[in-house]
Structure 1
Amino acid sequence: MRTHNKQIITAVVHGSMNTKAAAHHFNVTERWVKELVRRYAFEGEAAYESRSKRPKTSPNQTPQETRDRITFHRQNLTTKGLDAGAETIQTLLESEGLTAPAKSTIHRILRQANHVTNQPQKRPKSSLIRFEAALPNEMWQSDFTHWRLEDGSDTEILDYIDDHSRFLISIRAYRRVTGSYVAKQFTEACQEHGRPQSSLTDNGLVFTTRFTGKINGDQPAKNHFEKLLQEWDIKQINGSPNHPQTQGKIERFHRALKLWVKAQPRAKTVAQLNEQLEEFKHIYNTQRPHKAAGRKPPYLRYTATPKAVPKPLPKDERRIRTDTVDSDGKLTLRYGGQLRHLGMGRTYSGVPVRMLIDDRDVTVINRKTGEIIRYFKIDPSKNYQKGISSLNR
């Protein structure tokens, strides 16, 4: 480039070419020839040298202080097991009084500092159809996930989150999640935060019995959790089988949870794990900015508007079950997730019967004669149920 510039200047200044002829001869613009001649007049032979096209000043360049804070927050959040994306960092910069660059600029700075791993396999956001409840407590999502203790033994972590705000309603670890634990934890959550209008879960047995199959040709009884929802007028929604996207919010929550727990010392006991989960709950609800909550902690969105409340639902659980009175004069019936024993009396031992079940009301009919022989009003607090003779009804 130096030699080329020198030839152009020499041809015009010391030779016989004018600027137009020189531009044609050297295959450059006439404007460029004039610029070289102007430089030579002021700078002499320094005009022969090529120059960077980079501007002398970069008024739009991100200040070094801001760049340093971006990489600091990335490393700090990653170490703590918290979300360290561009949007989170942008929020933190603003809270520090700095002028936060655009998300794309933050991402570029992180990439330049080798803090970004490409993920070409990720599904594009434009392909997702998103649903969000309009109010707090309009819908709670629930599920459980696994986590191993220091000795390698498995635990199961059950949680409830608010669909509208992503507020973590309740979280607790167990050796194994059972239907009783699901109902108990749900009840305690309702006592603290009010009852939700609806519940969304998958089709696990601790949440629903609808896919357990018929027993002796009869529909299965609702479990404890289902009965609780029915009693409190809470609409039960179960996702489609083999379609985890329905519970996408809680699936993403579990990823955030495990990222944080993984960054902590591995718990030795379930009790220690629950202490960690309580700490995470506080951070997640009150400190960690959430994209879906307008880059604010979920607690602020959960408390910003009035909560939805349950609406009256039809109380209809009619089903029929066939059975035979056992040798002790009893029938068995599952109600509210527990097996109940119905006292028929030894007089009816061996008699084939049909039970007409309408929620708590049970009518027992002799299948051979069609005679109504007992009535029961299920008492959920008791295992053994005393019947009423059809003659005394």
Structure 2
Amino acid sequence: MRTHNKQIITAAVHGSMNTKAAAHHFNVSERWVKELVRRYAFEGEAAYEPRSKRPKTSPHKTPEATRERIIFHRKYLTANGLDAGAETIQTLLETEGIQPPAKSTIHRILRQTKLVTNQPQKRPKNSLIRFEAALPNEMWQSDFTHWRLADGSDTEILDYIDDHSRFLISIRAYRRVTGRIVANQFTEACEEHGRPQSSLTDNGLVFTTRLTSSHNKEQPAKNQFEKLLQEWDITQINGSPNHPQTQGKIERFHRTLKLWLQARPRAKTVAELNQQLTEFQRVYNMERPHKAAGRKPPYVRYTATAKAIPKPLPKDERRIRTDTVDKDGKLTLRYGGQLRHLGMGRTYSGVPVRMLIDDRDVTVINRKTGEIIRYFKIDPTKNYQKGISSLNR
């Protein structure tokens, strides 16, 4: 471009060509030739250099003060293990009374300052099919994840979130999550926030026994959590095996949780970790804006409308189990996630039996004679169950 401008100026100023002839010869407009001649008269050889087409003023340029707040929020959120995307920063600017630029502008500023990099490998958002409960407490998702303490020992963090609002219902760390712990924490959560209409979990044994294989091909007994859901008319939903996308919200939540924990010193004990989780629950529910909650903290959406409540469900758990009375005159039966001992009496030691189980009602039949020999009404508060003779029924 410099050489071309110099040739035009030389031909029109020092040569024999007028502006019209120079324009025709160099295939440019006559107006451009006149402009180059004018520049040469005022600037000399500087007129040879190409000029930037950038406008002298940028009326739509993001104010420097706004740029500084964008950079501040990005660094602060990242350092604290919180979501630091353009939408979150946009929301925080609004809360400060600053007119926020478009998300694309915020993202461009972050790229210019090397605070973010493009991730073309990420799946496009429009390719996802999303489901969301219509009301708070319509569905709770639950799962547990692992986290190591400062000494390298493992813990398990159990949590429940509301599908509609992403409100963190309950979160707690343990050395190991058991079926009893799942039921107890769920009970406490229901006492504080009300009972959900449905529960969504994976197929872990602490949540369901539905995929448990049985030697006698009988239907497996429900565990303590399943019995609790049944008793409270809460619909139980389990994701498809090897398909974690069904519990996508809780999986995404665990990423958020771990980013927050990684930004802090490793807890030395389970108690110290639970203190951190209590603080995280407060920040997550009350302060951190969430996209699914309209860029408001989850608490705002969770409390904005009336909560869903459970609907009556059929109380039906019929199954058949075969066994042999042991030498002490007892049978064993799993109910509510615990083994129950059924007292048959030593008279029946070694007798092969069939148990007809209808929720808490158990009828014991002699497999050889077909005789009904005992009835039981399971008491969930006791391990040893006393039976009723068929003659006394």
CA distance in 2 between counterparts of 1:154 and 1:91 reads 37
CA distance in 2 between counterparts of 1:337 and 1:78 reads 43
Match of 1:74 in 2: 74
Match of 1:63 in 2: 63
**Deviation of the 1:21 alpha carbon:** 2.3
Match of 1:154 in 2: 154
TM-score, reference length from structure 1: 0.96
Match of 1:36 in 2: 36
CA distance in 2 between counterparts of 1:328 and 1:383 reads 16
**2:363 is matched by which residue type in structure 1?**
T
Match of 1:346 in 2: 346
**Deviation of the 1:29 alpha carbon:** 2.4
**Deviation of the 1:30 alpha carbon:** 2.8
Match of 2:228 in 1: 228
Q: How does 1:1-393 map to 2 (within 5 A)?
A: 1=1, 4-9=4-9, 11-12=11-12, 17-39=17-39, 43=42, 45=44, 47-393=47-393
CA distance in 2 between counterparts of 1:346 and 1:224 reads 30
CA distance in 2 between counterparts of 1:107 and 1:172 reads 35
**Deviation of the 1:390 alpha carbon:** 1.0
- Range moving further from structure 2, 110-119 or 152-161: 110-119
Q: Secondary structure at the match of 1:353?
A: strand
CA distance in 2 between counterparts of 1:141 and 1:3 reads 69
**Deviation of the 1:64 alpha carbon:** 1.4
**Deviation of the 1:54 alpha carbon:** 1.3
**Deviation of the 1:19 alpha carbon:** 3.5
Which consecutive residues of structure 2, in runs of 5 or more, have no partner in the other structure?
none
**Deviation of the 1:357 alpha carbon:** 0.4
**1:210 is matched by which residue type in structure 2?**
R
Q: Secondary structure at the match of 1:308?
A: coil
Q: Secondary structure at the match of 1:265?
A: coil
CA distance in 2 between counterparts of 1:135 and 1:193 reads 14
TM-score, reference length from structure 2: 0.96
**2:72 is matched by which residue type in structure 1?**
F
| Percent identity over paired residues | 86
Which consecutive residues of structure 1, in runs of 5 or more, have no partner in the other structure?
none
**Deviation of the 1:163 alpha carbon:** 0.4
**Deviation of the 1:9 alpha carbon:** 4.2
**Deviation of the 1:215 alpha carbon:** 3.6
CA distance in 1 between counterparts of 2:8 and 2:120 reads 50
**Deviation of the 1:264 alpha carbon:** 1.1
CA distance in 1 between counterparts of 2:333 and 2:215 reads 11
**Deviation of the 1:217 alpha carbon:** 2.6
CA distance in 1 between counterparts of 2:231 and 2:2 reads 88
Q: Secondary structure at the match of 1:333?
A: strand
CA distance in 2 between counterparts of 1:185 and 1:32 reads 79
**Deviation of the 1:315 alpha carbon:** 1.0
CA distance in 2 between counterparts of 1:194 and 1:314 reads 21
CA distance in 2 between counterparts of 1:73 and 1:214 reads 55
- Range moving further from structure 2, 216-225 or 157-166: 216-225
**1:389 is matched by which residue type in structure 2?**
S
CA distance in 2 between counterparts of 1:2 and 1:124 reads 44
**Deviation of the 1:97 alpha carbon:** 1.5
**Deviation of the 1:3 alpha carbon:** 5.6
CA distance in 1 between counterparts of 2:206 and 2:3 reads 82
**Deviation of the 1:16 alpha carbon:** 5.2
- Range moving further from structure 2, 119-128 or 226-235: 119-128
CA distance in 1 between counterparts of 2:153 and 2:331 reads 40
**Deviation of the 1:34 alpha carbon:** 3.5
CA distance in 1 between counterparts of 2:259 and 2:50 reads 52
**Deviation of the 1:12 alpha carbon:** 4.1
Q: Secondary structure at the match of 1:94?
A: helix
**2:329 is matched by which residue type in structure 1?**
G
Provide Cα deviations, 1:152-177, integer angstroms capped at 9, x if missing partner: 11000000000000000000000000
CA distance in 2 between counterparts of 1:177 and 1:378 reads 26
